[in-house]
Amino acid sequence: MTLKIEDYFREPPFAQIGGSMKIDQGQSDFVQFSIHKKIIEEIKASLSERPVSIRFLAGRTGAGKTWTMSRIWREAESWHNDESKTIVIGLPSIGTRNYAEMAFVNGILESVHNAQSDTCRSLLSELSKLKSKKLDKREEYVLTALLNPDSLSDLIDAGSKLPKIGDISPPTRSAAEGAFPLFMGFLSLCKKSGFDSVLILFDEAETLFTTYGRKSIILFSNFLRKVYDEREKPDPSYPSLQILIAGTYEVLERVSPNLVGIQSAAGSVVEALQRRLSPPIVLMPPSNKEVLEIASYRIGEHRKKELNQPFIPYDEDAIQFMWGSSGGSIGGFCLGLERMYEIAKAQGSERIQKTHAEMAIRERTIDLSS
């Protein structure tokens, strides 16, 4: 089958916008920028040097936050070895529940139970050996939920009261108060299973503000504050913990306005948490060289699939113009590339030029002046 030039841009990351975070998201398409290496180094150092860290990965819409979080997930999986055991838990978003903090904890337990990664499978294997050991009430409750699908379903489907699972009563009956002891029980189980550190990757923090009201967000921020304060104390019974939360600049402004040079309003919804956040990581846009690598890498991957496939050379200023017109959105950039090549192919052009990029931009521009 002969492919058209536009077919080269039909597969990810071209013609793909966002998508839920998962460990293999963008695995065959990811082009690492210099900022990615820096991010991974900072996370790794934080896990080894501090007992707890809560920080934000911030970037504009379309900046590639989900791809970056998935890349971090894959990289951090390799930190699990005989010398230092690390569990990595991916949380694409949090669902709608009565309490955001309970949805957060349930999402973590569900992610581990579903064994989405090698480290989660390793943890489940070690947890199954803890049944015969002496556990406190919260550990026993969490362990039963993790190892029993029906028990986990009962916990996730619970309303305002935590259910009894099997013959084990919850640490507290109230779901509003239960998230903290359940989370700390989970961390304790991780340590008893031989894990030295826990990295939680929470993507799409926007869901907090679109799904939950002001009161719920205050309760969630207080939950994170309590976790931070508890883990900040030296305690060998817990692993080191890092929670990395990805969100837009708008989310960062609402969560910790002082970090972006904005004075915090009195009574901010997350005032209790602000002072405890580590400095945010800002996902900077790719350099000019990296922009070209995004385009050339994906084309090259496609051309390897079959021999003697057509290729139309492009002018670098066409690629740079399209990137400059994308507003920093990698998804928008990829869609623009696709249309630019479609126009050039339809015209029978021998080169992809800036004029083709300009035509593609005009097609998606609405003139409000008339």
41 lies in the same domain as 119:
yes
Co-location of 40 and 186 in the same domain: yes
For residue 115, what are the contacts with CB-CB under 8 A and spacing of at least 6?
121, 124
pLDDT in tens, 140-169: 999 999 999 999 999 988 888 899 988 889
> Domain check: are 192 and 292 in the same one?
no
Give domain status of residue 138, yes or no. yes
Residue 237 lies in a domain: yes
Residue 308 and residue 353 in one domain:
yes
174/322 same-domain check: no
Domain match, 304 and 168 both:
no
Question: Could you list the residue range(s) of the whole structural domain that residue 320 is in?
Answer: 5-14+286-363
Identify the CATH number of the domain in which residue 325 sits: 1.10.8
Residue 244 near residue 43 (C-beta atoms within 8 A): yes
Q: Looking at the domain assignment, is residue 370 inside a domain?
A: no
Between 97 and 300, the more confident residue is: 97
Judged on CB neighbours under 10 Å (0-12, 13-18, 19+), 326 is buried
Number of folded domains that form the chain: 2
Does residue 28 belong to any structural domain of this protein? no
pLDDT in tens, 322-360: 888 887 777 677 777 778 877 887 888 888 899 998 998
Regarding whether 308 and 268 lie in a shared domain, the answer is: no
Does 27 reside within a domain? no
Six token digits for residue 350: 């021998």
Give pLDDT tens digits for 119-138: 999 999 999 888 767 899 99
* Residues 237 and 276 occupy one common structural domain: yes
In the chain, the N- to C-terminal Cα span, in Å, equals: 46
| 264, 282, 300 - which closes a domain | 282
The per-residue DSSP string of 130-143 comes to: -TTS---HHHHHHH
* One domain for residues 338 and 230: no
Report CA dihedral (115, 119, 124, 126) to the nearest 10 degrees: 170
Alpha helix (H) residue ranges in 158-256: 175-192, 206-211, 214-232, 249-255
Say if 93 falls within a structural domain.
yes
* Cβ proximity of 240 and 47 under 8 Å: yes
CB 47 within 8 A of CB 278: no
Say what the pTM is.
0.80
Return the pLDDT at 368.
46
pLDDT tens by residue, 188-228:
999 999 999 999 999 988 888 778 887 888 888 889 999 99
Q: Are the CB atoms for 90 and 116 separated by under 8 Å?
A: yes
Q: How confident is the model at residue 2 (pLDDT cuts 50, 70, 90)?
A: very low
Question: H or E segment at 293?
Answer: helix 288-303
Q: Which of 282, 303, 318 is the last residue of a domain?
A: 282
Q: Is residue 241 part of a domain?
A: yes
For residue 343, the cross-strand partners are none
The reply to whether 38 and 135 lie within a common domain is yes
Tell whether 264 and 295 lie within a shared domain: no
Among 43, 48, 55, 47, residue whose Cα is nearest residue 277: 55
Of 265, 282, 299, the residue at which a domain comes to its end is 282
CATH of the domain at 248: 3.40.50.300
